[in-house]
Amino acid sequence: MFINEVCRVCALTKKAVEYYIEQGLVKPAVLENGYRDFSDADIDRLKQVSVLRGLGLSAADIRGVLTGQGASLSDLSRLKRMELSALEEKQQLMQELARTKDWEEVQGKLMQLQRKQSVLSRMRDAFPGYYGNFICQHFASYLDEPVQTKEQQAAFDTILGFLDNLQFEIPEDLREFYDEVTDRFDDNVCENLNANVQGMLTDPGKFEKFVEANREAIQTYLDYRQTDAYRSSKAYRLEQLLRQFNSASGYNDIFIPAMCQLSKSYQAYYTAMQRTNEQFLQQYPEWGGRGHE
């Protein structure tokens, strides 16, 4: 099939097809007379490229998706969501500026938004897939507070330095398992999980009700964690990898304390989390030595 027919079948312009060829997204055979001959596989690839391009992906992102050597569609979707969220916040600031004409106030909020995005983008780059998405959503709401003191600025700089030097890698066999398990977790799952945790921390009664309502399931889970089957599973290996990383990288000793110093709301959350954990172990001491976290 020649290029004019390809354009008709794929609903693409000749300029677009030539651009995709130039970018190496499709590589039709070149005949002796110089005409390009597109195979059925080339047509299928162009249709895929057209869809991905229509979804707003760049040529580099499309190449990575189609070759499997770049970010996955799930990862790109999460990135687009972060970009849209930042754009919505900027639009709100634009509306505020139009309404109040308070340039200094809006400038301060814009600087804070830029700080927030610099942290979230580094988190997304540092942690893969669903884990990175969950961490970004978890910390995002605590990054809205203005940086007003030298201590907060120092904490912010510490956080950026920590994330910039972070190297977190999952072995290939665990990465496949990780991707398979977390494929079902979309943004709504992350949001609901974070909201439920927040709700239980602000209302201890909700946590107690949750534990009582799910006591049997929790006990079954804790019993399973003590089995040889669990300790030889990829889930256990992944858990241990994350634990070792949090301890060795400074996540527990550098990043978390810096977040507490940067954000009063995160300090309150972290304190509530520790208090709830202590109360849980006091109320159910038989679970304390059985792998409860």
Tokens of 80: 């687009």
Instruction: Give per-residue pLDDT as tens, 215-234.
Output: 788 788 878 888 999 999 98
Instruction: Give per-residue pLDDT as tens, 2-40.
Output: 889 999 999 899 999 999 999 999 999 999 888 889 999
E strands present in the chain: 29-30, 36-37
Would you say residue 289 has pLDDT above 60?
A: no
d(CA 165, CA 157): 12
d(CA 236, CA 57): 36
Judge contact between 153 and 206, C-beta under 8 A. no
How big is the CA angle at 87 (ends 123 and 155), to the nearest 5 degrees?
35
- Global pTM value: 0.74
